[in-house]
Amino acid sequence: MTELLELSAARAAELVRAGEVSAGELFALYRDRARADELNAFLWVADGTPDPPAADAPLGGVPLAVKDLFCVEGVPSMAASRILEGYRPPYTATAVERLVSAGAPVLGKTNMDEFAMGSSNENSGFGPVRNPWDRDRVPGGSSGGSAAAVAAGLAPWAIGTDTGGSIRQPASLCGIVGMKPTYGAVSRYGMIAFASSLDQCGPLTRDVTDAALLLKHMVGRDRCDSTSLEFPEPIQLPTEERLDGVRFGVPPELTGEGVEAGVREVFDRTVALVEELGGTVEEIALPHSPHGIAAYYVLAPAEASANLARYDGVRYGPRARNGDLLSLYEETRANGFGAEVKRRIMLGTYALSSGYYEAYYGRAQRVRTKIADDFRNAFQRVDLVLTPTSPTVAFKLGERVHDPLAMYLSDYCTVPMPLAGIPAISIPGGLSEGLPVGIQVAGPAFSENRILTAAFALEQAIGFERRPFDDV
Question: Please, which residues have CB within 8 angstroms of residue 306's CB and are 6 or more apart in sequence?
Answer: 348, 352
Q: What percent of the chain has pLDDT over 70?
A: 99
Q: What tens digit of pLDDT does each residue of 436-447 get?
A: 999 999 999 999
Query: In 3D, which of 399, 402, 424, 401 has the Cα closest to residue 413?
Result: 424
Give the lowest-confidence range in 313-317, 420-424, 458-462: 313-317
Give yes or no for a contact between 116 and 47, defined as CB atoms under 8 angstroms apart: no
Q: What tens digit of pLDDT does each residue of 183-232 get?
A: 999 999 999 999 999 999 999 999 999 999 999 999 999 999 999 999 99
pLDDT at 468 over 90: no
pLDDT at 267 over 80: yes
From 81, 124, 166, 172, active-site residue: 166
d(CA 64, CA 156): 7
pLDDT of residue 3: 86
Told to judge if 142 belongs to the known catalytic residues of this protein, a careful annotator would answer yes
Q: What tens digit of pLDDT does each residue of 102-117 get?
A: 999 999 999 999 999 9
Beta bridge partners of 222: 225
How sure is the predictor about 469, in pLDDT bands with cuts at 50, 70 and 90?
confident
pLDDT of residue 470: 66
pLDDT of residue 398: 96
Three-class DSSP category at 370: helix
Give yes or no for a contact between 378 and 287, defined as CB atoms under 8 angstroms apart: no
pLDDT of residue 471: 63
pLDDT of residue 321: 75
d(CA 349, CA 21): 53
pLDDT at 248 over 70: yes
pLDDT of residue 405: 85
How sure is the predictor about 466, in pLDDT bands with cuts at 50, 70 and 90?
confident
**What is the average per-residue pLDDT within 342-354?**
93
Half-sphere exposure of 428 (CA within 13 A, CB side): 25
d(CA 25, CA 31): 10
Say how many C-beta atoms besides its own lie within 10 A of residue 427's C-beta.
28
Q: What percent of the chain has pLDDT over 90?
A: 90
Told to judge if 196 belongs to the known catalytic residues of this protein, a careful annotator would answer no
pLDDT of residue 228: 97
**What is the average per-residue pLDDT within 152-177?**
98
d(CA 394, CA 120): 9
> Can you list the alpha helix ranges (DSSP code H) found in 397-447?
404-408, 416-420
How sure is the predictor about 450, in pLDDT bands with cuts at 50, 70 and 90?
very high
pLDDT of residue 424: 98
pLDDT of residue 324: 85
> Can you list the alpha helix ranges (DSSP code H) found in 104-242?
144-151, 168-174, 208-216
Residue with more model confidence, 323 or 123: 123
Question: Please, which residues have CB within 8 angstroms of residue 69's CB and are 6 or more apart in sequence?
Answer: 79, 112, 115, 116, 142, 160, 161, 191, 192, 194
Give yes or no for a contact between 54 and 23, defined as CB atoms under 8 angstroms apart: no
Q: What tens digit of pLDDT does each residue of 9-53 get?
A: 999 999 999 999 999 999 999 999 999 999 999 999 999 889 999
From 77, 81, 142, 146, active-site residue: 142
Give yes or no for a contact between 224 and 189, defined as CB atoms under 8 angstroms apart: yes
- Name the helix (H) or strand (E) containing 425: strand 424-432
Residue type, 420: A
Q: What tens digit of pLDDT does each residue of 254-266 get?
A: 998 899 999 999 9
pLDDT of residue 472: 61
d(CA 422, CA 166): 15
Told to judge if 67 belongs to the known catalytic residues of this protein, a careful annotator would answer yes
